[in-house]
């Protein structure tokens, strides 16, 4: 669609070759759902953010599409869209009205954005679902970290959280794409948050995303927020923890995400930079 201005940003990195690339359409009010899906497929990134209308000063309706489907919330495309707006209009506070609810975002003068997710929640992962998930991932039960039990976490989208006992297990990602895609579609999961705890406040993470037509997401803000909610709900970190996530290293697109928990705040803060990707 040649008449649509499509911006491209790398989120959670200060290098266009790092982080997670996202498409951004700042003036998408005239686009239909099929047209937005077609644009997202043309862009080919894991998500493209579409600002379909302003609802007041600094308030925008935002929708997110992968190449295959709409998703309720996407963290890296939120960061990309917020920084794109800041590049056009200057830094400051924003509110994105998403399918998952209102997400507040603040951008500073260094292209650094902090989003506050919708309220986080955590649920048990059914035994049958865990078995099916591990089978699709080709992981064995004894390869899991017993200190971080499997759960389903939500902070705008649903993500199973599965913790590897070793970095080697996390590095060897080779899953059954059709099986995992079918399971995720049946359960309404957006990505699978695979983690390895490198230190008390540091995690390395990977996110398979077959339901979006992408084998792996290089840096995933929505899953980072869900992970923060999971760790808080399980008493696995302090209530005021600041966590550092490394993602994308295995793909050659390193990204860095900061997750901040604030006592009394239901949402989870996720911070990262974004930079334009040259044409």
Per-residue pLDDT reduced to its tens digit, 218-264: 999 999 999 999 999 999 999 999 999 999 999 999 999 999 999 99
User: Which residue in the list 33, 47, 143, 216 is annotated as catalytic?
Assistant: 47
Which CATH superfamily does the domain covering 121-273 fall into? Diaminopimelate Epimerase; Chain A, domain 1 (3.10.310.10)
Which tokens hold the place of 20?
């997670």
Q: Do domains 7-115 and 121-273 have the same CATH topology?
A: yes
For the chain, list the strands marked E by DSSP: 7-11, 20-25, 48-54, 59-65, 70-71, 92-98, 101-107, 112-116, 121-124, 151-154, 158-163, 193-199, 202-209, 214-217, 242-247, 255-260, 269-276
pTM over 0.75: yes
Closest CA to 192 of 217, 166, 213: 217
Three-state SS for 163? strand
Percent of the chain exceeding pLDDT 90 equals 98
Domain boundaries, the chain: 7-115, 121-273
Report the CATH superfamily, name and number, of domain 7-115.
Diaminopimelate Epimerase; Chain A, domain 1 (3.10.310.10)
Q: From residue 247, give the alpha-carbon distance in Å to each of 103, 109, 206.
A: 23, 24, 6
Contact between residue 244 and residue 232 where contact means Cβ atoms under 8 Å apart: no
Spatial distance between the Cα atoms of 258 and 123, rounded to a whole number of angstroms: 23
Q: Is 47 a catalytic residue?
A: yes
């Amino acid at each position: 669609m040649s008449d649509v201005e499509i911006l491209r940003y790398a989120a959670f990195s200060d290098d266009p070759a790092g982080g997670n690339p996202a498409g951004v359409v700042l003036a998408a009010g005239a686009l239909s759902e099929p047209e937005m899906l077609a644009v997202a497929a043309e862009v080919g990134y894991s998500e493209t953010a579409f600002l379909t209308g302003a609802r007041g000063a600094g308030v925008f309706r935002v929708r997110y599409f992968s190449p295959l489907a709409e998703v309720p919330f996407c963290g890296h495309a939120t960061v990309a869209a917020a920084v794109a707006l800041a590049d056009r209009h200057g830094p400051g506070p924003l509110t994105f009205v998403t399918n998952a609810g209102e997400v507040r975002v603040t951008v500073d003068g260094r292209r650094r954005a902090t989003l506050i997710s919708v309220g986080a929640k955590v649920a048990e992962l059914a035994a049958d679902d865990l078995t099916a998930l591990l089978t699709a991932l080709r992981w064995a039960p004894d390869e899991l970290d017993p200190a971080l039990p499997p759960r389903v976490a939500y902070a705008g989208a649903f993500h199973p959280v599965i913790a590897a006992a070793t970095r080697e297990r996390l590095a060897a990602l080779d899953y059954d794409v059709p099986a995992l895609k079918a399971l995720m579609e049946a359960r309404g999961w957006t990505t699978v948050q695979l983690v390895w705890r490198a230190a008390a406040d540091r995690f390395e993470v990977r996110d398979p995303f077959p339901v979006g037509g992408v084998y792996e997401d290089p840096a995933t803000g929505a899953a980072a927020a869900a992970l923060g909610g999971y760790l808080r709900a399980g008493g696995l970190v302090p209530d005021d923890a600041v966590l550092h996530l490394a993602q994308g290293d295995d793909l050659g697109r390193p990204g860095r995400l900061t997750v901040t928990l604030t006592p009394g705040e239901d949402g989870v803060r996720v911070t990262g930079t974004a930079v334009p990707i040259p044409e």
